[in-house]
A and B are shown apart, each in its own frame.
Chain A
Amino acid sequence: MEETLRKEFEAFVHDIEPSLRRALVAAYGFERGRDATAEALGWAWEHWDRAKELDNKIAYLFRVGQSRSRDKKTPITFERGESSDPWFDPGLIPALASLTEHQRVAVVLVNGFDWKLREVAELLDVGISTVQSHLERGMRSLRNALEVVEND
């Protein structure tokens, strides 16, 4: 019985985890975002009967991750471990950290991972126009910080 549940959950994680992790990492940085992802998936496993029936699984688990994340004084950090790819763009660390949480989520998910504005609006529980505003302001700040000139 449990083996069947485990296989169901493995498929669930395969489908959900990348999007959930990207959203929580965008919101809270690498360390805290990954912890929040693990917490949210842990909750899903402990409440599997309920979790597998959720309408918007990612938005729901995003809130679980938020509610289980550590306190507000833990800063958002995008610092990387020594073992990570040395060719990452170091300018993105302060540039992303300087955005507001919603701006960062909108920029990362819409521009980085091709999410629809509606999907981000559901995730953040705000209107589509609000997401559009976060996206535009966030991209403007990011371009200024990185001194990027492009028209996307």
Chain B
Amino acid sequence: MTELNERIRDFIDTGVTPVSAEEIFVARPSVQVRTSAERVRPRVRRRLLVLSGVVALVIAIVIVGLVTVPGAKNAGVTPASAATFLESVAAKAATESPLVPGPGQYLYVATIESATFGQGQHPSPKTFWFDSEELHQVWTSPTAPDHQSYEIVGRPEFVSAADRAIWVIDGSPLLGSGNSEGPTPPYYDVAGLPTKALEMVAYFKSQIYLPTESWYGSLPSWEFGTALGFLQNGASSAQRAALLRFVATIPGVRLMGHATSIATGQRGSVIALPQGRSGLTEEAIFEPSSSILIEDRYVFTTLPPKPKVTSPLPGPTPFVNEIQSYTDFVFAGITRVNSEYSLPKETPKFPPVWPFGSVREPLPGWLGSTSK
């Protein structure tokens, strides 16, 4: 083995502690009682359609009609119109300072994000799925310990009536949820973020803790995603203007008309960028008069290629124009404490937390969708 190979081996093997069987036993007490709700992947379906007793052909026609309605998509939109729109929004940006935490302070950002959970339990051998919305609260700082929490808010919804039926067979178990914590998203340092579009890429590359181009899979996706990250993490109005002018230069960006954010119900204009072979397109909804990013979401604009190997956890089947996941911006501010017990005073009231441990039933599910 060469020296470099040894360096790689030592680096990987000494970076984390092994996962022990005992650790698994503590986290999942018994193989006989499967009660844990597992986060599988963010995903949500548009809740536009409730049909029953309608023949399949009619359902298909209605689905096609509905899913092509949002935002008048693909209606003669061009990169040039995206650039014009972004320039007009940039020019209107109001005067605001960037949110830069001082020593010991935190940038606090609250968003509402979609999530889909699959839960399997005896006696049914199948998994039932339900969509939900989570309030994500993130405290980041260049100098202080980060923190993140997320919890289900509002009322979850079964992905389909079939999922509800499985849930009933399983004895209508409580839905797992409650407060959770996870790895904290990176700190977006807006202190030095340029106010000139031409300087954005160099600044992005200097931010070593942000996701890299290889992580996003392509240069345009990385540029788009990183710009949206800064837009949602305390950029000033002048910086937002520069970011929007920069976004206008990214190859493939399109203006897609108008749409309403799903969790917060705000109307805005949509800018979109396809994400390669995944079938997904990333869409960003902006409030045109303030340049504020309302929602960032992923939409299936084509169906993804079928995997060569069957997934061990097959989820609901995707369909064209399904909104796979979304993140709605709610609030950003500066705080001195990295916990929800001390939030900035301007923080708005959040939706009620889903009563974990109760027997409340989720919404019945969209009858037009299917789960395996």
Question: A residues touching B (Cβ–Cβ < 8 Å)?
Answer: 2, 5-6, 9-10, 12-14, 17-18, 21-22, 25-26, 30-35, 37-39, 41-43, 45-46, 48, 59-60, 63-64, 67-68, 70-78, 80, 84-85, 88-89, 92, 94, 96-101, 107-108, 111-114, 125, 142-143, 146, 148, 150, 152
Query: Which residue of chain B has its CB nearest to the CB of A48?
Result: B31
B9, A113: Cβ atoms closer than 8 Å: yes
A25, B12: Cβ atoms closer than 8 Å: yes
Please tell me which one of the listed residues A41, A64, A71, A107 contacts residue B8 in the complex, with CB atoms under 8 A apart: A107
A125, B214: Cβ atoms closer than 8 Å: no
Q: 10 extra interchain contacts, Cβ-Cβ under 8 A, other than A73-B211, A111-B8?
A: A12-B21, A18-B18, A25-B16, A30-B16, A34-B19, A67-B41, A68-B38, A99-B214, A111-B5, A152-B4
A97, B41: Cβ atoms closer than 8 Å: no
Q: Shortest 4 CB-CB distances between A and B: which pairs?
A: A112-B8, A13-B21, A112-B9, A75-B211
Please tell me which one of the listed residues B16, B36, B211 contacts residue A34 in the complex, with CB atoms under 8 A apart: B16
B40, A68: Cβ atoms closer than 8 Å: yes
A97, B212: Cβ atoms closer than 8 Å: yes
Count of chain B residues near A, Cβ 8 A: 57
A84, B19: Cβ atoms closer than 8 Å: no
Please tell me which one of the listed residues B2, B24, B32, B185 contacts residue A152 in the complex, with CB atoms under 8 A apart: B2
Complex-state Cα separation, A95 to B31, whole angstroms: 41
Query: Per-residue 0/1 for B1-30: is the Cβ within 8 Å of any A Cβ (1 yes, 0 no)?
Result: 111110111111111111111011101101
Which stretch in B65-73, B84-92, B308-316, B331-339 binds the other chain?
B308-316
**Residues of chain A lying within 8 A (CB to CB) of residue B42:** 71
B28, A88: Cβ atoms closer than 8 Å: no
How near does chain B come to A128, taking the closest CB pair, in angstroms? 14
Please tell me which one of the listed residues B25, B225, B325 contacts residue A45 in the complex, with CB atoms under 8 A apart: B25
Complex-state Cα separation, A13 to B186, whole angstroms: 32
B174 contacts the other chain (Cβ, under 8 Å)?
Answer: no
B360 contacts the other chain (Cβ, under 8 Å)?
Answer: no
B14, A88: Cβ atoms closer than 8 Å: yes
* Secondary structure call for the A interface: helix
Query: Which residue of chain B has its CB nearest to the CB of A36?
Result: B19
Subset of 20 A-B contacts with CB under 8 Å: A2-B32, A13-B24, A21-B16, A22-B13, A25-B12, A38-B23, A38-B24, A46-B34, A68-B40, A72-B215, A74-B182, A84-B14, A85-B14, A96-B11, A98-B214, A108-B8, A108-B12, A112-B9, A148-B4, A152-B5
Given contacts A48-B31, A112-B5, A125-B309, contact A75 B16 (CB under 8 A): no
B182, A75: Cβ atoms closer than 8 Å: no
**Residues of chain B lying within 8 A (CB to CB) of residue A2:** 30-32
Query: Per-residue 0/1 for B120-131: is the Cβ within 8 Å of any A Cβ (1 yes, 0 no)?
Result: 100000000000
A74, B183: Cβ atoms closer than 8 Å: yes
How near does chain A come to B50, taking the closest CB pair, in angstroms? 29
B209 contacts the other chain (Cβ, under 8 Å)?
Answer: yes
B53 contacts the other chain (Cβ, under 8 Å)?
Answer: no
Query: Per-residue 0/1 for B85-106: is the Cβ within 8 Å of any A Cβ (1 yes, 0 no)?
Result: 0000000000000000000000
**Residues of chain B lying within 8 A (CB to CB) of residue A25:** 12, 15-16
Complex-state Cα separation, A150 to B301, whole angstroms: 46
Query: Which residue of chain B has its CB nearest to the CB of A103?
Result: B214
Which residues from 285 to 323 on chain B have a C-beta closer than 8 Å to any C-beta of chain A? Answer: 307-309, 311-313
Complex-state Cα separation, A45 to B209, whole angstroms: 34
A143, B4: Cβ atoms closer than 8 Å: yes
Complex-state Cα separation, A61 to B25, whole angstroms: 17
**Residues of chain A lying within 8 A (CB to CB) of residue B325:** 71
How near does chain B come to A4, taking the closest CB pair, in angstroms? 11
**Residues of chain A lying within 8 A (CB to CB) of residue B41:** 67, 71
How near does chain B come to A90, taking the closest CB pair, in angstroms? 10
Which residues from 213 to 269 on chain B have a C-beta closer than 8 Å to any C-beta of chain A? Answer: 214-215, 217, 225, 229
